[in-house]
């Protein structure tokens, strides 16, 4: 009984997209610590290699595949090269503030392509090419934005996250018969390099943290651990669920 751990990923093969930094990198690393064979993908080869080197060694090998998933050829080649998967973390995404009066087709399409189209098309190909085991788990990195709250200048991003949660629930319904569970994690603000873009001062960030009952932003590992739960057998009766990870921020 000492080795009993329903959250273990030992023996599982997990694909993580957007794994070159932030939540994706943390998820890949934490999955490897839980015993998984991790396949990481992203556009930045140098940073992807850094993630690969940080993966915990275990009984199963890890692998990295450099790909720009907005390109049809890269997406097809990625799926073609994959082994059978126990899980997929659709994490690749971008952020950006655009006030409504400054919206443009170009800005809408760019964010929608990465945040919404890519995970939808990757999921389609994984199912069509029979790359997911029965049972298996797909986890989408969504957000509290749009799904639980809105904020100034966040219309495009929030819309893509509402879309990905809707797709997650639809996929959960459609793919249940194949033994494929679909869920999402919905974090609030997380401490990643995205925060270093100069949109707010350090003092403004500290003030913003006071809106959170737990008085801090999340860490990438906080989100990774939620993802691990949804990948693991501990959540074998969970599908179509959006797991809110927000330090209590949306309570008010």
The two beta strands, 180-187 and 13-17, are unpaired
Q: Give the sheet arrangement for strand 180-187, strand by strand.
A: 63-66, 37-42, 13-17, 85-90, 132-141, 180-187, 242-245
Rounded Cα distance between 67 and 147, Å, is: 29
Q: What is the number of alpha carbons within 13 Å of residue 189 lying toward its C-beta?
A: 19
**Set 148, 157, 217, 229: catalytic member:** 157
Q: CA separation (Å) from 138 to 73, 83, 92?
A: 22, 15, 13
Token reading at 1: 């009984």
Active site residue 4: no
Rg (CA), the chain: 18
CB 119 within 8 A of CB 170: no
Q: Report the catalytic residues.
A: 157
């Amino acid at each position: 009984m000492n080795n009993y751990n329903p959250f273990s990923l030992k023996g599982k093969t997990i694909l993580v997209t957007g794994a070159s930094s932030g939540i994706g990198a943390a998820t890949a690393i934490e999955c490897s610590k839980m015993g998984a064979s991790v396949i990481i993908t992203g556009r930045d080869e140098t940073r992807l290699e850094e993630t690969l080197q940080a993966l915990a060694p275990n009984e199963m090998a890890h692998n990295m595949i450099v790909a720009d998933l907005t390109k049809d050829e890269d997406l097809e080649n990625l799926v073609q090269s994959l082994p059978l998967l126990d899980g997929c973390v659709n994490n690749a995404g971008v952020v950006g503030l655009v006030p409504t009066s400054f919206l443009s087709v170009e800005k809408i399409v760019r964010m929608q392509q990465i945040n919404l189209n890519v995970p939808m098309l990757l999921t389609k190909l994984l199912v069509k090419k029979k790359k997911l085991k029965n049972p298996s788990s797909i986890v989408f990195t969504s957000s509290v934005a749009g799904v639980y709250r809105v904020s100034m200048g966040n219309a495009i991003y929030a819309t893509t996250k509402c879309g990905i949660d809707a797709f997650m629930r639809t996929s959960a319904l459609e793919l249940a018969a194949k033994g494929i569970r679909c869920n999402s994690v919905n974090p609030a603000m997380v401490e990643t390099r995205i925060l270093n873009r100069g949109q707010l001062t350090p003092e403004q960030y500290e003030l913003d943290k006071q809106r959170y009952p737990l008085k801090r932003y999340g860490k990438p590992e906080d989100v990774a651990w939620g993802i691990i739960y949804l990948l693991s057998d501990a959540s074998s009766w969970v599908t179509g669920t959006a797991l809110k990870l927000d330090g209590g921020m949306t309570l008010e």
